[in-house]
Chain A
Amino acid sequence: MHSRHAIAALGLVLLIPSAACRDVSVGYGSERVAAEQQQPATVALPNKAGTYKFGVLGDFGTGSREQYELARQMASVHGRFKFEHVILVGDNLYGSERPQDFKKKFEEPYKPLLDAGVKFYASLGNHDAREQRFYKPFNMEGKLYYTFNPNPEVRFFALESTYPEPEQMKWFEDELKKSTSKWKIPFFHHPLYSSGERHGSDIRLRKVIEPMLLANNVSVVFTGHDHFYERTKPQNGITYFVVGSGGKLRQGNIDTESGITARGLDTDLAFLVAEIDGDQLTFNTISRTGAVVDSGVITRRPAK
Chain B
Amino acid sequence: MGTQIARSVVLFGVLVAAGCNREVPKPPPETTKSPESAPSTERVVGPLSEADAAALATMNDRLKAYVEAHKKIEEGLPKMSKEASPEEIDKNQRAFELQVREARKDAKQGDIFGPEAQPVIKRLLASVFAGPEGKELLASILDENPVGMKLSVNMRYPDSVPISTVPPEVLQTLPRLSEDMEYRFIGRHLILLDSHAHVVADFIPDAIPG
Contact = CB atoms under 8 A, between A and B. Distances in A.
29 contacts: A96-B159, A96-B160, A97-B90, A98-B90, A99-B87, A101-B86, A102-B86, A129-B159, A130-B196, A131-B90, A131-B93, A134-B84, A134-B89, A135-B86, A135-B89, A141-B82, A162-B163, A162-B166, A163-B166, A164-B167, A165-B171, A165-B176, A166-B172, A169-B168, A202-B165, A203-B136, A204-B136, A204-B140, A204-B168
A32 interface: no
Interface string A138-166: 00010000000000000000000111111
B159 A163 contact: no
A95 interface: yes
Contact of B195 (A103, A130, A136, A205): A130
A127 interface: yes
A146 to B, nearest CB: 14
Given A135-B84, A136-B82, A205-B168, 7 more contacts: A126-B144, A165-B168, A166-B171, A169-B168, A204-B137, A204-B168, A208-B168
A217 B165 CA distance: 27
Contact of A134 (B80, B87, B143, B195): B80
Nearest to B136: A203
Interface in B134-181: 136-137, 140, 143-144, 159-160, 162-169, 171-172, 176, 180
Contacts of A202: 140, 165
Interface size classification for chain B: 20 to 34
B83 interface: yes
B182 interface: yes
B37 interface: no
B85 interface: yes
B70 interface: no
A103 to B, nearest CB: 8
Q: Could you tell me the dominant secondary structure of chain B's interface residues?
A: loop
Contacts of B180: 130
Contacts of B167: 164, 204-205
Given A97-B159, A134-B80, A204-B169, A126 B164 contact: yes
Contacts of B198: 129
Interface in A175-233: 190, 199, 202-205, 207-208
A248 to B, nearest CB: 12
A95 B160 contact: yes
Interface in B83-136: 83-87, 89-90, 93, 136
B163 A126 contact: yes
A126 B162 contact: yes
Contacts of B137: 204
Nearest to A96: B159
A130 B34 CA distance: 28
A129 B143 CA distance: 18
B5 to A, nearest CB: 14
Nearest to B195: A130
B143 to A, nearest CB: 6
Given A99-B90, A199-B143, A136 B168 contact: no
Contacts of A162: 163-166
A193 to B, nearest CB: 15
Contacts of B80: 134
Contacts of B89: 131, 134-135
